[in-house]
Structure 1
Amino acid sequence: MRSSPLEHQAQPPATAHASSFGLLVAAAGVVYGDIGTSPLYTLKEVFAGHYGVQVNEEGVLGILSLVLWSLLWVVSLKYVMFMLRADNEGEGGVMALTALARRATSAHPRLSATLVLLGLFGTALFYGDSMITPAISVLSAVEGLDVAVPGLSHWVVPITVVLLIGLFVIQKHGTARIGTLFGPVMVIWFSVLGLLGIHGILQRPEVLQAVNPWWAFNFFLAHPGIGITILGAVVLALTGAEALYADMGHFGRKPIARAWFGLVLPGLLLNYFGQGALLLADPGAARNPFYLLAPDWALLPMIGLATLSTIIASQAVISGAFSLSQQAIQLGYIPRMQIQHTSSAAQGQIYIGVVNWALMACVVLLVIGFGSSGALAAAYGVAVTTTMLIDTLLVAAVMLLLWKAPRWLAIPLLLGFLLVDGLFFAANAPKVLQGGAFPVVAGVVLYLLMTTWKRGKQILFERLDETALPLPVFLASIGLQPPHRVDGTAVFLTASPDAVPHALLHNLLHNQVLHRQVVLLTVVTRDTPRLDPSQRFEVTAYEQGFYRVLLNFGFMEEPDVPAALQHCPDKTLDFAPMRTTWFLSRETVIPTRRLGMAPWRERLFAFLHKNANSSMRYFGLPANRVIELGTQVEI
């Protein structure tokens, strides 16, 4: 297993120690912002009344025990100790895990196809979750105004909307400067969570009995009607568990694990137990146990700190959506979009306008439509528990088929993960009828878009191959009837490595000339995040000055084609900028009744293909050296 490159840098002991501490602080800010703000609303939702949980010793201690052991099993064991080891060359997240699972099941095509579809659905649900998380987090923080100054309750939604719109507006300017505040602010946040919790526990130390898992089992026995249903509220304590796996490539496994066990988990558990102690002392505090745990003099500063922390948590989700979109574009699951790099120093800091504005519109509509964190909590959980379940299924294939782990160890562990994930999923499934349909519908729509794009591209390539001229036949005809040759290099981008590009045939037909060097270039995205330079090129030389070049990129790399070709190992090829002309084929897709996809999906694919970002921008080609030749393709 490979960990993050950041962990392999040779450094003096003092520098390495400082760097490790810096990574730990940064991980606390970026990775754990989401789960770190869950105490704002979790117990408030549990004891809101509609679940029927009584604010008494049995209810409070039972819920605290459920929260404790859920955090230990799902986050500590499954994600931190286990899933973080399922890295794709240092990268994590559902897309990276899907690529890994596809590699593990390469000998089983049907299983591989099924797992890829599951991974795509998990990716789609991540976007649905990305819409709810900023809305519920910031809204729950601003709702503290209703506790501090009840007369300001009608301003909660407008203030939340303004804060969220401001957050999305600044995305195009990059988050490098704001990012430097993430870690320190969240360290303060978790420290304050712990201190408030300790203060509450000291008032009612008997709350520590909830460490005994018997209270969790007893809760199910005493409340057979709501025992499983209550997991739909307990799952709020697990918000963002998948994020720590997705952000592994930025920080490495060790800083993420150390931040969890050394800072985040203690702060969360102390605060939850402190809230529980408050509820034992004053059942009326159930209306907002987080803010009522703070002293009166600290209430307004806590609202400010909580708001800043939830904005940080939202920023992490938005950045994750950008990163996931980039991976999906590279792997060919969504149309190409314009990607703007907002930092010259940090490769991972990108901005995708379409994703940003679509997320903003959905988040604002959620805040206005639901109006409170309690209402939004009813919509939360379906998407995240489904994603957790998909993660377990994907990692099962990796563990059993790729790692060849001992079955006596792997199967019981995986069954345990499936059982817990299944219980959480079953508890949240009824939420589909209570507002939870929104993230599911969003996920289904995005899933249909991704599968339509992927299948449409496959059909398009098949149609082009039907009329393609085999390269050996073309070269033979060139030898018999040589065209006029001009100086320079012509690069024809083509998706098919074994056929003559349509752009080349059109150019020869209309201009009746060929360049001295003709390069048929195919850009391939591999299932690994990054490639070693020795794996970048596959060059084949033919007669008549023709070359076939396969240019390989990892799914986390930026496909800057002109820059990459400057390092081509075949020095006979001349890619001098002013002597190289780039030829692209621009296909116009025409839906037909031919066997392929449903008519509505063909029309959808034609629309997506028409509005996709051009290959010229995506591959970084110089605009003044590109010639595009159009062709119509019936699918």
Structure 2
Amino acid sequence: MKTASATSKHGHDAHHGHGQGKVGLAGLIVGAIGVVFGDIGTSPLYTLKEAFLAHYGLDPTSHADVLGLLSLIFWALMIMVTLKYVVIIMRADNEGEGGIMALMTLAQRTLPKGGRGAYAVGILGIFGASLFFGDGVITPAVSVLGAVEGIEVVAPHLEKFIVPLSVAILVVLFFTQRFGTEKVGRVFGPVTLLWFLSIAAIGALNIGHYPEVVHALNPWWGVKFFIAHGWHGIFILGAVVLAVTGGEALYADMGHFGKLPIRYAWYTVVLPALMLNYMGQGALVLENPQAVSNPFFIGVPDWAQWPMTVLATLAAVIASQAVITGAFSVARQAMQLGYIPRMQVRHTSRDTIGQIYIPGINWLLMVLVIVLVLTFRSSTNLASAYGVSVSGTMLIDTLLLALLARATWPRARLWVLPVCAVVVVIDIGFLVANGAKFFDGAWFPVVLGLVVFTVLRTWRRGRELLHEEVRKEGIQLDSFLPGLMLAPPARVPGTAVFLTADKGVVPQALLHNLKHNKVLHEHNVILTVDTLNVPYAPPEKRMSIGNISGEDFYRVVLRFGFMETPDVPLALMRTCDQCELTFNPMDTTYFASRETIVASRRHSGMAAWRDKLFAVMHRNAAPATGFFRIPGNRLVELGAQVAI
């Protein structure tokens, strides 16, 4: 999953840092090279090797086939990555943040709230994110396997150790996540920069043996390829797409580094290095057709093969690290937006809010990735599974972009919409070509994506039904308090904070407290926590407060952005400095209700199996109080049973 990674120290302010001067910009560029481009940067390990497999029907001795393939790779990078993502989609930022969820939110804003169009865009965006997760699981497996397979060239007698060594590397990688990536992140940029310089130098060296290969930059070679191969030629796009996997990371990681550093890194380092290496591999194949077995490592000089294998493994680990930390970031966004159950979130850095570790996501990824390695056992087999989900995500990106451009870019849409029309045709070509590999392994990311989509939609719909039931059985707060004050219960010192998702209804915890304890606190706060569709809540919108009935009851709404980790006690103390309420940590008690979900046939909100799935997820979700960082010694939880 090449998504918003958390390894940058610049965090939220990165997109404001374009004026930091040459040193600051250079540091951001190197950091972006380490985090953003790890996945697309390791694609040369397996792309050409996959393209020359027998089922694609390419002839490595054919001058036209080799130049046609290289031309398709070059123009795929230029159109699908440079034009689509670097030039156009990076213009669509949600207060500096990117990624498919940000694009979905922006597109929904162009449509009437609550309408069918906004609902359809939401479904499309979540389905794209689900497919993206399926693709992201493959990235660590295929990258590490592709790198370790250099042993086949360097020391063929050690071939039997490739799979065990790959598994060992991945296990170590996942077990070290709990320590955070801040220290390791400092070397990401320099190591990946060395990787790109190395593959560029090796590519240039091989081009020198067959300079004619640079003619592949002419798009006519790509056109001739399709003319010669007819309709069957479209299936080669199933291999070409491997060269652009990871392209969405340019957009997804935009909030951590800013547009300018990512664009500079792409134009000056990454794109030239990739094309030099691909051209060099093509030159090697034309000079020695037997090199198609592993053109990347065979093209490396003998004296550099072991160092290059080590460097390739480091680059693959870095690419995997970016996927893992990106998964943590996206999971936190999904939690905030209400698409997945709350999970334990640990902060691994005192300085950087983006440095987080989510154990549940980490161990799930580890199991899936290791199962993939043990099942497919080679990067060639995994490449067959790679691409179909990212093709689907890229198609959804293009559709959302077209919708956004049509509604909000009156000048740019005159040229953006025609470009989108061309790109949609290419996206569909990629999707069809990868769909042909469905039974060869492409079924895995599709099935995984569908499972993730089902979980996301079930949790979201289940929460809606839960809130409807609570509201249906609830008592309106404005009518309840005057009646309560006619015969007021005993008052005790301190402040009571009652958490509720619906600020107009009496919290269940308040009713239970009155029923069982028969007391009211000196100050009572009805607290609702809202998540905004922006990455970070502006300070002036952080909190709103209002008095209810003039009886020491207050309605408070705290707002957080979807990139923030909500810390309710801290936010209350900071934002209430100037208001009449004070939240002394030792004098404040938090009350929350914890519902037990019961699936009922009388309700028709979801299918029975989805009701049961939601009940299981709700039972195992981390409590809201822990997610909101409320201390356990100041918390009282009261239970309630709800049928949906």
| TM-score, reference length from structure 1 | 0.97
Report the counterpart of residue 46 of structure 1 in structure 2.
51
Structure 2 residue corresponding to 1:582, chosen from 564, 582, 590: 590
- Give yes or no for the alignment of 1:470 onto 2:476: yes
Report the counterpart of residue 23 of structure 2 in structure 1.
18
Query: 5+ unaligned residues in a row in structure 2: which ranges?
Result: 1-10
Report the counterpart of residue 563 of structure 1 in structure 2.
570
- Give yes or no for the alignment of 1:232 onto 2:241: no
Per-residue CA deviations over 1:487-537 (Å, capped at 9, x if unaligned) read 111100000011110110110111111011110000000100011110111
Per-residue CA deviations over 1:458-496 (Å, capped at 9, x if unaligned) read 000000011111112111112211111111111000000
Query: 5+ unaligned residues in a row in structure 1: which ranges?
Result: none
Distance 1:341 1:67, change over 3 A: same
SS at match of 1:269: helix
SS at match of 1:566: helix
Alignment of 1:164-563 (within 5 A): 164-405=170-411, 407-542=413-548, 543-563=550-570
CA contact (8 A) 2:39 2:246 kept: yes
Equivalenced residues, count: 630
CA contact (8 A) 2:478 2:504 kept: no
Shift of 1:4: 6.4
CA distance in 1, matches of 2:331, 2:354: 12
Which segment drifts farther, 340-349 or 518-527? 340-349
Per-residue CA deviations over 1:352-409 (Å, capped at 9, x if unaligned) read 1111111111111111101111111111111100000111111222212233445532
CA contact (8 A) 1:587 1:631 kept: yes
CA distance in 2, matches of 1:9, 1:48: 46
Identical positions, percent: 51
Letter of the 1:613 partner, please give it: A
CA distance in 2, matches of 1:564, 1:373: 48
| TM-score, reference length from structure 2 | 0.96
Per-residue CA deviations over 1:534-584 (Å, capped at 9, x if unaligned) read 011121111211111111110001100000001235621121111111000
Q: Give the 4+ runs in structure 1 shifted more than 2 A.
A: 3-11, 402-411, 567-570
SS at match of 2:474: coil
Letter of the 1:86 partner, please give it: A
Report the counterpart of residue 6 of structure 1 in structure 2.
14
CA contact (8 A) 1:106 1:112 kept: yes
Letter of the 2:24 partner, please give it: S
- RMSD across aligned positions (CA): 1.4
SS at match of 1:453: helix
Structure 2 residue corresponding to 1:607, chosen from 609, 613, 616: 616
CA distance in 1, matches of 2:440, 2:512: 57
Shift of 1:410: 3.3
Report the counterpart of residue 626 of structure 1 in structure 2.
635
SS at match of 2:604: coil
Letter of the 2:264 partner, please give it: R
SS at match of 1:491: strand
Report the counterpart of residue 79 of structure 2 in structure 1.
73
Shift of 1:153: 1.1
Letter of the 1:372 partner, please give it: S
CA contact (8 A) 1:399 1:405 kept: no
CA distance in 2, matches of 1:258, 1:110: 40
Structure 2 residue corresponding to 1:35, chosen from 29, 35, 40: 40
Alignment of 1:141-156 (within 5 A): 141-156=147-162
CA distance in 2, matches of 1:8, 1:118: 30
Which segment drifts farther, 25-34 or 569-578? 569-578
SS at match of 1:573: coil
Report the counterpart of residue 130 of structure 1 in structure 2.
136
CA contact (8 A) 1:105 1:112 kept: yes
SS at match of 1:555: coil
CA distance in 2, matches of 1:26, 1:132: 24
Letter of the 2:625 partner, please give it: M
Distance 1:405 1:589, change over 3 A: farther
CA distance in 1, matches of 2:284, 2:410: 49
